Structure 1
Amino acid sequence: MHYNYEYILVRYGELTTKGKNRRDFTNKLNRNIRTALKPFTKLEYKVTYDRLYVILNGEDAQPIIDILSKIYGLVSFSPASKVETNVDTIVETAYNMVKDEPGHKTFKVLSRRRYKAFEHSSDDINRLVATKILKNTDLKVDVRNYDIGIIVEIEEKQTYIMSKVYPGAGGYPTGISGKTNLLLSGGIDSPVAAAMMQKRGLFIEAVHFASPPYTAPQSLDKVVRLAQKLTVNQKHLRLFIVPFTKLQLAIYDNVDESYAITIMRRMMFRISEQLALQHHSLSLVSGESLGQVASQTVENISAINSVTTIPVFRPLIGSDKLDIINYAKKLDTYDISIEPYDDACTIFTPQNPVTKAKLELCEVYESKFDWQTLLDECIENVEIRTLRFNEESVDEENIF
């Protein structure tokens, strides 16, 4: 970025549709932005009705732009310069902003007068800026297919000038819709499901089922790194690590192999629901995609879901696997997810898992062993780690 911008102008997205709740949405978004940008200690902020101005105070704009592009609730943002509302200053600043832009051939000027009493019309400003650029550079005007869009926003005492609009991530600010518990494996799907629900405003806490020694320490490290990727939109993320080995072995000792995955998933959902309710979450999130694997048929999902009383969101249910992979790559979780370390869902994969599980048969198998005692033991020994954006994880004490 060759030009030394002083501001980044942030535009809100779907927040404008929220009526009387709008202030809650914008306040949450502004807090999320400040949290994500906390490492940049020189920044200051100015809030208006429909904008947030990030005052750079000498900070490099590019790493801040990289973070803002991931924040849910933003429709777009632009690096900007603030000048006095004087036509000569406006023209000169716009020219300096684009004169050395490499690799561009065309431009367009779009002026907007928020201060209607300004002596020049928007068309006047457009012509004056364009004339200066045309006379002093090789750039040409193209109002339809332009390389550089110069935006001039005129207010009474100051004018903001921009030459690029970055698309925001859209959606709602994470946390505005409440809190949920994510069933987080080491695979591709669950981090994508989490990100999609964050975009709808849900604050994520994650539950992971570890089965040492059958799952390696690298498997848990992989999950921690996946969870860390989800923290850019949250002040923190708590990861509940459930010691699942004894319960999982009991399932495989007492349940027909074909039903083992279904019964295991029922136990996982029971545990996740209890943790959710203990920590004031009112829903679960899971990464199932209909028909993708044997446990993700309508019949199996129904049998698994029957053990829960709170809503279970499955944002990927109708998604194609290639679409999920592409989303994971954008989220920067794909390369971690494909690391070759098994998790609790993959270490004992049966050869012929049931695809049309019957609820009554699930209940028969569960009646053959004391799963409740083993489940309670899982919850009593949960390890909690708190993850924060750009920080190491912190172990918490067992609080149950």
Structure 2
Amino acid sequence: MNKDIILLRLGELTLKGRNRHRFETQVQQQLKRVLQPFPSVTIRHEYGRVYLDLGGSEYAAVARQLDKVFGLHSYSPAIRCGLRLEEIQTSVREAFAEIQVKPRTFKISARRVNKKFPYDTYELNRLLGGTLLEQHEDLQVDVHNPELDIRVEIREQEALVFSEVVPGPGGFPLGSNGKAMLMLSGGIDSPVAGWLAMRKGLRVQAVHFHSFPYTSERAKLKVIDLTRTLAGYAGKITLHMVPFTDIQTRLKQECRDNLLITMMRRAMFRITEQLAARQEALAIVTGESLGQVASQTLPSMHVIGAAATLPLIRPLITLDKAEITAMAERIGTYPISILPYEDCCTLFVPKSPSTNPNIHAVERQERYMEEWLPEAIRTAVEQTETMYIVPEQPEKEDSLF
């Protein structure tokens, strides 16, 4: 099949009424970004559809980039042909010939944008279906539940024929729903939470807490690599590296051992909120999954989350570890997340962390630390290192050969 054009379908943004044009523009901006290595590809937007004219570029290489475009519901590689009936029938036969596992039932779904086309939809379905029935005696038409649906679009200047529908990432265009801070550890969960947040239209900035020299330079590079992978879906991501050693060691000395993780997480939320205020972000995204560890029981999340005033977004809250791991593998963060470089939380885990902390006991403990903890939090914010992470650049189209 000569796959020289791709038809794109946009997702949830179609429900947005008057915002639709703005969201479509944002999707097209994402498309331009991910398709920069393919200068021969052109983007056309007409009649509520978006088309990519490949201009000789390899379909498979372009399709890989489409997986990074949030707001894209699905796409289909199509055969382009003229508006003569014989040409369309030939393209339908070509589309059927490309099917590796031949179906027993099929239907033709024609869509006429060009109302001047001489055949109506019913007649076109019959004429195009007939050209397949003539060649394949064991093939039958099933308009309700066919194994194969060959779709034909009659445009103003051309016709498109396709049968394959490839799922896209879905969601909303990146940045269309505002900005949030992602609490990014070096583990499996938080990068997936960040990806899911971006998929729902949030532009995220990452916040990572390190405890040098207890955590190594390799652990820092691991987090940068995770951010770089996520940046492949966003164009660039701001990463805030927060020095947490002083707060962590002081908490270990002064607070009850079973409350150490609770106190640490509350301090992290307060630091993240101060960074969010500077960046005009309106939410905090975490990788918490209900019941997965001591700090992620419902009582623990209630007490820890009470330290924050911004909305807390927990995309993974009801997912199992296997589901999260599968997502991490799909978006490309898993091989980095499992590298054996520990983050600050895993190094300071007490033997018996509380799974049911008492908020009054925690607040009382914090009052004993008022002479140093608020100032230590402000210092950590002031000493935060901010860097701007861009994705690895794919090879230009003319360097692939």
- Name the residue aligned to 2:212: 212
What is the CA distance between 1:277 and its match in structure 2? 1.0
Secondary structure class of the residue paired with 1:71: coil
User: What is the distance in 2 between the residues matched to 1:390 and 1:91?
Assistant: 44
Change (3 A) 1:138 1:66: farther
Paired position in structure 2 for 1:69: 67
Which of 10, 17, 24 aligns to 2:22? It is 24
C-alpha contact 1:130 1:141 (8 A) present in aligned 2: no
Match of 2:344 in 1: 344
Q: What's 2:357 paired with?
A: 357
Mapped to 1, the partners of 2:58 and 2:37 lie a distance apart of: 12
> 1:127 aligned to 2:126?
yes
Q: Given residue 121 of structure 2, which amino acid in structure 1 is its aligned partner?
A: S
| CA distance in 1 between partners of 2:164 and 2:137 (Å) | 19
- Paired residue for 2:151? 151
What do residues 15-45 of structure 1 show as CA deviations (whole Å, max 9, x unaligned)? 2211111111111111122212222222111
Partners of 2:387 and 2:23 in 1: how far apart?
28
Between the aligned partners of 1:29 and 1:314, the Cα distance in structure 2 is 25
Q: Is the 8 A contact 1:191 1:328 kept in 2?
A: yes
Match of 1:375 among 365, 371, 377: 377
Say if 2:118 is the partner of 1:116: no
Q: How does 1:2-41 map to 2 (within 5 A)?
A: 3-41=1-39
Residue of structure 1 equivalent to 2:276: 276
Distance across 2 between alignment mates of 1:356 and 1:105: 57
Q: Write the distance in 1 (CA, Å) between the matches of 2:276 and 2:222.
A: 23
1:308 — aligned with what? 308
Change (3 A) 1:302 1:102: closer
* CA distance, structure 2, for counterparts of residue 291 and residue 323 of structure 1: 15
Q: How is 1:318-337 mapped onto 2 (pairs within 5 angstroms)?
A: 318-337=318-337
Distance in 2 (alpha carbons) for counterparts of 1:263 and 1:75: 42
Q: Is the 8 A contact 2:4 2:54 kept in 1?
A: yes
1:145 Cα deviation from its structure 2 partner: 6.3
In structure 2, how many angstroms separate the alpha carbons of the residues matched to 1:167 and 1:139?
Answer: 30
**Greater mean deviation of Cα atoms: 202-211 or 71-80:** 71-80
CA contact (8 A) 1:209 1:242 kept: yes
Aligned position for 2:399: none
**Equivalent residue number for residue 397 of structure 2:** none
Residues 159, 13 of structure 1: alpha-carbon distance in 2 compared, 3 angstrom cutoff: same
1:375, CA displacement in angstroms?
2.0
Q: CA deviation at 1:93?
A: 2.3
Per-residue CA deviation, residues 167-188 of structure 1 (Å, 9 max, x unaligned), is 2222211210000000011112
For these two proteins, the number of residue pairs brought into alignment is 390
1:83 shift after superposition: 2.5
Cα distance between partner residues in 2 of 1:81 and 1:295: 54
Native 8 Å contact 1:262 1:300 kept in 2: yes
Moved more, 101-110 or 274-283: 101-110
One-letter code of the match for 2:234?
Answer: Q
Q: Distance in 1 between matches of 2:233 and 2:339?
A: 25
Does structure 1 retain, via aligned residues, the 8 Å contact 2:215–2:344?
Answer: yes
| C-alpha distance 192-138 of structure 1, shift in aligned 2 (>3 A) | farther
Q: Output aligned runs, 1:136-285, within 5 Å.
A: 136=135, 140-141=139-140, 143=142, 148-285=148-285
- Matched-pair contact (CA < 8 Å) for 2:193–2:287: yes
Equivalent residue, structure 2, for 1:385: 387
**Is the contact made by 2:34 and 2:68 (CA closer than 8 Å) also made in structure 1?**
no
SS of equivalent residue, structure 2 residue 354: coil
* Structure 1 residues 191-225: Cα deviation after superposition (integer angstroms, max 9, x where no partner): 22212222221111110111122112222222222
Give the C-alpha shift of residue 272 in structure 1.
0.8
Residue 54 of structure 1: SS of its match in structure 2? strand
Report the residue type matching 2:233 in the other structure.
Answer: N
The 2-side partners of 1:139 and 1:145 are apart by 17
Alignment check: 8 A CA contact 1:172 1:201 kept: yes
Distance, in Å, in 1 between the alignment partners of 2:168 and 2:45 is: 18
Distance 1:305 1:78 in 2: 44
In 1: Cα distance, 2:389 partner to 2:352 partner: 38
Task: Report the TM-score, using the length of structure 1 for normalisation.
Answer: 0.90
**CA RMSD after TM alignment:** 2.3
Q: For structure 1, which segment, 101-110 or 235-244, has the greater mean C-alpha deviation from structure 2 after superposition?
A: 101-110
Q: Does structure 2 conserve the Cα–Cα contact (< 8 Å) formed by 1:104 and 1:139?
A: no
Q: 1:271, 1:180 → 2: CA distance?
A: 14
1:47 is aligned with what amino acid?
A: H
Counterparts of 2:147 and 2:61, CA distance in 1:
23
Contact 1:78 1:162 in 2 (8 A): yes
The runs of 5 or more residues in structure 1 that have no matched partner are 393-400
Identity fraction in percent: 36
Code of the aligned partner of 1:385: M
Could you say if the C-alpha distance between residues 139 and 10 of structure 1 is closer, same or farther in structure 2, counting changes exceeding 3 Å? farther
Q: How does 1:41-60 map to 2 (within 5 A)?
A: 41-60=39-58
C-alpha distance in structure 1 between counterparts of 2:280 and 2:334, whole Å = 30
Q: Secondary structure at the match of 2:379?
A: helix
In structure 2, the residue matched to 1:78 is 76
Aligned AA (2:383) = N
Secondary structure of the structure 2 residue equivalent to 1:172: coil
Partner Cα distance (1:357, 1:237) in 2: 35
Distance across 2 between alignment mates of 1:139 and 1:71: 41
